[in-house]
Structure 1
Amino acid sequence: MKPFSFHSPRGLGEAVDLLERHGPGAQVIAGGQTLLLAMKERLARPSALVSLAEVADLRGWRYTDSGALEIGAATTYAALAEAELTGVPLRGWHTEIAAVAGDLADRPVRTMGTIGGALCAADPRFDMVTLVVALDAELDTVGAGGGRTIRAAEFFDPVGGTVLRPGEILTTVRFRPQDGFSGVAFEKFRYRVFDAALVSAVCALRLGADGAVADARVTVGAVHPAPVLATTAADRLVGGTPTAVDTVEIGLVAADEVLPAEQATTSVRRYQRELIGVLVGRAIARSHERAHTTTAGS
């Protein structure tokens, strides 16, 4: 392992200054679940590590005056999974975010791994990568040149990686208020409970006053270098109701859209194609159920 210096700033401004001072060889480290492994395998050889562990402003979550949910990038999966035990429990469909955080990898990884770290690693198999795109989250960053806000779908490069600039730090993940969606459901398949997803799927619905779907987002992850919005499948949901929607048919539409049969040339890719149809169908059914349960209870 190449020698490196380690820095533990107390504030965000200090972290930005350290990254600028140490130049291109400096890298941010949060939980270290991805970066440390890459360093051990000599896939990453930073000259300096800037830790965000002591930057308190990057941990935790809050609801804004508009009802949006803001999660600090250095918040661990374990902390978010136990949100209901805190003074700021998640509400409505936001609880699906906590459920996803509590159902990935194993306890040690959830304890150390952070939301922002997973997004910056940009591994398409990571659940949070798929989820933020599916829910149209906004990501705030800061660097020496100032801050900016990036939509999740634009944060991930279609060929892999992110659009983060050198020296830029992801600070906040912002999700829509409760009225942004009526029901959200995340589904995935993994070989073992602590494995990354082979395929993941999310359906997010917003119902109109008549109970029909007014807006829908269907997203598939772990199949390509970045999550894919299955817009054709989502459009098929708009205007429908639970009794009128054929979840199997729309799942097949999503499979054709995300991984056409002519591209499924290996056994793994053919299996992924089958999984897309099944998981999208399940996500649609469960999001419909949650949306109507929420509407009935409001």
Structure 2
Amino acid sequence: MKPFTFHTPSGLSEAVSLLEQHGPDARVIAGGQTLLLAMKERLARPAALVSLAGLPGLRGWRYTDSGALEVGAATTYAALAGATDLAGWHAEIAAVAGDLADRPVRTMGTLGGALCAAEPRFDMLTLVVGLGAELVTVGPGGGRTIPASKFFDSAGGTVLRPDEILTTIRFPRRTAFSAVGFEKFRYRVFDAALVSACCALRLGDDGAVADARVVVGAVHPAPVLVPGVADGPLTDAAVTEIGRRAAAEVLPEELATTPLRRYQRELVGVLVARAIARAHDRAKDQSGS
């Protein structure tokens, strides 16, 4: 590794000042699971690391007065996985956090770190876009709130500025969706996803699907929102057809030119259908229909 200085600010304002002072040579570190590996392999060579580990307010979760769920960006996967107070579809967030990578990564890795790393195979990218989350940041000019769908760029990075810090991930209130389904395929239990899919849907008073969001991850540099899911009744045949359309939308035949890409195309269709079916079944169970 290239030599670097390690800073432990006592508050967010000091952390932002350090990033502003050191400019592009500074990087934020929380769990360090992605950054330290990149530094070891000399893919990243920061001259200064600004640690978020000791900053108050960046770990844990809380419900706002409006019912939104706010999770601190420095919250570890392991802590989130053990969140027994998350009810309704919010519990799926904890379930996804508890089923990624291996125990050491879950113990050290953080939700915000994964999002800022913007590795498309990471489950949390697909999840936050699929759930329509908002990402709250702070920088020298103040704070801003960025829809998760706008946070990741098509080149594989984020819109986060070098002197900005991601502080909070805000998920919609429980009434926004009736249920959520998340599916992924990986070669080994600790591998990142080859394809992932998230479906968040809401049933109307008549039991029909009133709204649905389906997002596919790990295929392109940023998660892809699949349109037209809630166009009609979700019969078994309709769900299969939506999966087929999703595969064609996310990976058209002209892009599926290698064995891996063709395999991913097949996986998109299967996993989208599974995510929709899982979410729909859960929604019907909860509504008693």
After TM superposition, the score normalised by the length of structure 2 is 0.98
Distance in 1 (CA, whole Å) between partners of 2:138 and 2:95 is: 28
What value does the CA root-mean-square deviation take over the aligned residues?
1.1
Q: Residue by residue, what CA displacement relative to the aligned partner does 1:45-103 show, whole Å, maximum 9, x if unpaired?
A: 0010000000121000000111100000000000000001xxxx101000000000000
**How far off its partner does 1:11 sit?**
1.4
1:207 aligned to which of 203, 207, 212: 203
| Residue 121 (str. 1) matches residue 117 (str. 2) | yes
Gaps of 5+ in 1: none
**How far off its partner does 1:238 sit?**
3.6
| Residue 249 (str. 1) matches residue 246 (str. 2) | no
Distance in 1 (CA, whole Å) between partners of 2:168 and 2:121 is: 21
Equivalent residue for 1:103?
A: 99
Equivalent residue for 1:190?
A: 186
What does 1:39-78 correspond to in 2, within 5 Å? 39-78=39-78
Question: Is the alpha carbon distance of 1:244 and 1:37 closer, same or farther for their aligned partners in structure 2, counting shifts above 3 Å?
Answer: closer
Equivalent residue for 1:32?
A: 32
Equivalent residue for 2:263?
A: 271
**How far off its partner does 1:290 sit?**
0.9
**How far off its partner does 1:22 sit?**
1.7
Equivalent residue letter for 2:77? Y
Q: Residue by residue, what CA displacement relative to the aligned partner does 1:242-274 show, whole Å, maximum 9, x if unpaired?
A: 447622111101000100112100000000000
Distance in 2 (CA, whole Å) between partners of 1:177 and 1:245 is: 31
Work out whether residues 30 and 53 of structure 1, in 8 Å CA contact, stay in contact via their aligned partners in 2.
yes
**How far off its partner does 1:285 sit?**
0.5
3-state SS in 1 of match to 2:160:
coil
**How far off its partner does 1:10 sit?**
2.2
After TM superposition, the score normalised by the length of structure 1 is 0.95
Distance in 1 (CA, whole Å) between partners of 2:123 and 2:27 is: 23
Work out whether residues 212 and 238 of structure 1, in 8 Å CA contact, stay in contact via their aligned partners in 2.
no
Equivalent residue for 2:251?
A: 259
Equivalent residue for 1:137?
A: 133
Q: Which of structure 1's runs of 4+ aligned residues deviate more than 3 A?
A: 242-245
Equivalent residue for 2:281?
A: 289
Of all paired residues, the percent bearing the same amino acid is 75
3-state SS in 2 of match to 1:217:
strand
**How far off its partner does 1:161 sit?**
0.3
3-state SS in 1 of match to 2:184:
strand
Equivalent residue for 2:15?
A: 15
Distance in 2 (CA, whole Å) between partners of 1:262 and 1:184 is: 31
Distance in 2 (CA, whole Å) between partners of 1:246 and 1:70 is: 35
Distance in 2 (CA, whole Å) between partners of 1:133 and 1:97 is: 12
| Residue 181 (str. 1) matches residue 185 (str. 2) | no
